[in-house]
C-alpha cells in the first residue's frame, strides 16, 4: 500500500515537472517585465508579447486537451469522432445534361461525408424543379399561342421525377440521425473552465498565461461553432428542406396552371380578334376617306398610294389585291 502511495507521488511530480517545462518553453514566464497592455497587443512594440501570448495559448490548449482525455478515460469513452466504414451509400439520381451529367449520393460513414452530400442533393433538386418550371412555361405558351396542340406529357414527366425524390430524401434525413445521436451522447467538456484551471494550477500571476488562456478560449468557441455536431445538424436541416420541396403537390399546382392557361388563351384570342377588326376598320376608312395621294383611289395603275392603319404604303392591283412596299 505504501509503495502505491509513493509511486503515485513520484508520478505526479514527474508529470508536474513535464508540465512546468512545457510552460517555461512555450510561455517564457516574465510577468515582472510586462510593459504591454494585454488587451491591445497589436502595436509594433508589443509584437514579442503578442507572440508569447500565442504560444501560451498553445500550452493551455494542450493541457486542456490532456485533461479532457483523462476525463474520457475515466468515463470509458473510447471514440470521440463518428466513423462507420460499412455505412450504406444512397444514390439519389443524376443531374446535368449529356456529358456533363453528375450523380448525387448520400454518404454517412463520417460527419464530413454526410455534410458534403448536401451539395449534390441540392443541385439535383434544383435541376428537377427547373425542368418542371420550364415544361410548365412551354405548355402555357403553347396553349396561349393556339398554333399547336399543347401537350402536358413533359410536365407530368418532370413532376414524377420530383416526386420520386420523396422517399430517398426521407432516407437521407434518417441517415444523419445516428451521427447526431453519437455526438449528443459524448460527455460534456467545459473548455473555458478547464483553461482557467490550467492557469490556476500553473501560474496564476503570469499575465501572458492568463492572456493565452483567454485566446485559447476564444479560438475554441470558433471551433465549437463549426464542430461536427453543428455541421451535421445543419446538413440534416438542409435535407429536410429538400424533402419539403419534393413534397409540394405539383400535380395540383399544375392543374391550376392549366386553368390559368385556358383563361390567358381566351384573352389572347379576344385581343387578336379586336386587333384584326381595328385593322379592317382602319383600312376601310383609309380607302373611303382619302387616305391616299392622287386621284383614282388606291389603284396601282393610277400611280396612287394608300396608307394602312400602321403606316404601311400600298396600292390596289388590277386583280383587287394589295401591293405593299410602294
What pLDDT was estimated at residue 243? 97
Alpha-carbon Rg for the chain in angstroms:
39
What pLDDT was estimated at residue 17? 45
Long-range contacts of 281-290 (CB under 8 A, 24+ apart): 281/309, 282/308, 282/309, 283/308, 283/309
Beta bridge partners of 107: 89
Q: Say how far apart CA 128 and CA 246 lie, in whole Å.
A: 10
pLDDT at 325 over 90: no
C-alpha distance across the termini of the chain, in Å: 123
Q: What is the pLDDT of residues 61-115, one digit of tens each?
A: 999 888 888 887 776 666 778 999 888 999 999 988 766 889 999 999 999 999 9
DSSP string, 116-167: HHHHHHHHHHHHHHHHHHHHHHHHHHHHHH-SS----HHHHHHHHHHHTTHH
Q: Please give the average per-residue pLDDT across 321-326, as a whole number.
A: 75
Q: Say how far apart CA 37 and CA 217 lie, in whole Å.
A: 19
Full-model pTM: 0.66
What pLDDT was estimated at residue 31? 52
Output phi, psi for 204, to 5 deg.
Answer: -65, -15
Q: What is the pLDDT of residues 194-230, one digit of tens each?
A: 999 999 999 988 888 999 999 999 998 888 877 889 9
Per the model's pLDDT, the better-predicted residue between 173 and 317 turns out to be 173
What pLDDT was estimated at residue 160? 97
CB 281 within 8 Å of CB 292: no
DSSP string, 66-112: HHHHHHHHHHT---SS---TTPPEEEEEEESSGGG-EEEEEE-SSHH
Three-state DSSP at 292 gives strand
Amino acid at each position: 500500500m505504501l509503495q502505491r502511495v509513493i509511486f503515485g507521488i513520484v508520478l505526479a511530480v514527474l508529470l508536474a515537472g513535464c508540465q512546468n517545462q512545457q510552460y517555461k518553453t512555450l510561455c517564457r514566464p516574465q510577468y515582472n517585465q510586462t510593459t504591454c497592455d494585454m488587451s491591445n497587443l497589436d502595436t509594433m512594440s508589443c509584437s514579442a508579447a503578442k507572440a508569447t501570448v500565442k504560444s501560451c495559448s498553445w500550452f493551455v490548449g494542450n493541457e486542456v486537451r490532456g485533461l479532457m482525455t483523462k476525463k474520457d478515460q475515466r468515463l470509458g469513452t473510447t471514440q470521440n469522432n463518428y466513423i462507420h466504414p460499412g455505412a450504406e451509400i444512397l444514390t439519389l439520381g443524376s443531374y446535368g445534361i449529356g456529358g456533363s451529367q453528375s450523380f448525387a449520393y448520400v454518404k454517412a460513414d463520417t460527419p464530413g461525408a454526410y455534410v458534403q452530400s448536401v451539395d449534390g442533393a441540392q443541385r439535383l433538386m434544383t435541376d428537377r424543379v427547373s425542368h418542371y418550371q420550364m415544361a410548365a412555361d412551354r405548355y402555357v405558351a403553347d396553349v396561349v399561342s393556339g398554333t399547336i396542340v399543347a401537350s402536358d406529357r413533359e410536365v407530368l414527366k418532370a413532376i414524377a421525377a420530383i416526386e420520386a425524390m420523396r422517399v430517398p430524401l426521407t432516407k437521407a434525413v434518417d441517415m444523419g440521425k445516428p451521427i447526431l445521436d453519437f455526438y449528443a451522447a459524448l460527455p460534456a467538456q467545459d473548455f473555458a473552465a478547464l483553461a482557467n484551471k490550467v492557469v490556476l494550477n500553473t501560474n496564476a500571476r503570469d499575465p501572458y498565461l492568463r492572456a493565452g488562456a483567454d485566446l485559447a478560449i476564444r479560438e475554441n468557441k470558433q471551433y465549437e461553432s463549426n464542430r461536427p455536431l453543428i455541421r451535421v445538424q445543419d446538413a440534416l436541416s438542409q435535407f429536410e428542406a429538400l424533402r419539403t420541396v419534393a413534397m409540394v403537390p405539383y400535380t395540383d399546382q399544375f392543374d391550376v396552371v392549366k386553368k390559368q392557361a385556358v383563361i390567358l388563351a381566351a384573352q389572347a384570342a379576344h385581343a387578336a380578334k379586336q386587333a384584326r377588326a381595328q385593322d379592317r376598320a382602319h383600312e376601310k376608312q383609309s380607302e373611303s376617306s382619302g387616305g391616299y395621294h392622287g386621284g383614282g383611289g388606291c389603284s396601282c395603275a393610277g400611280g396612287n398610294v394608300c396608307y394602312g392603319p400602321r403606316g404601311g404604303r400600298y396600292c390596289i392591283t388590277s386583280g383587287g389585291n394589295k401591293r405593299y412596299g410602294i
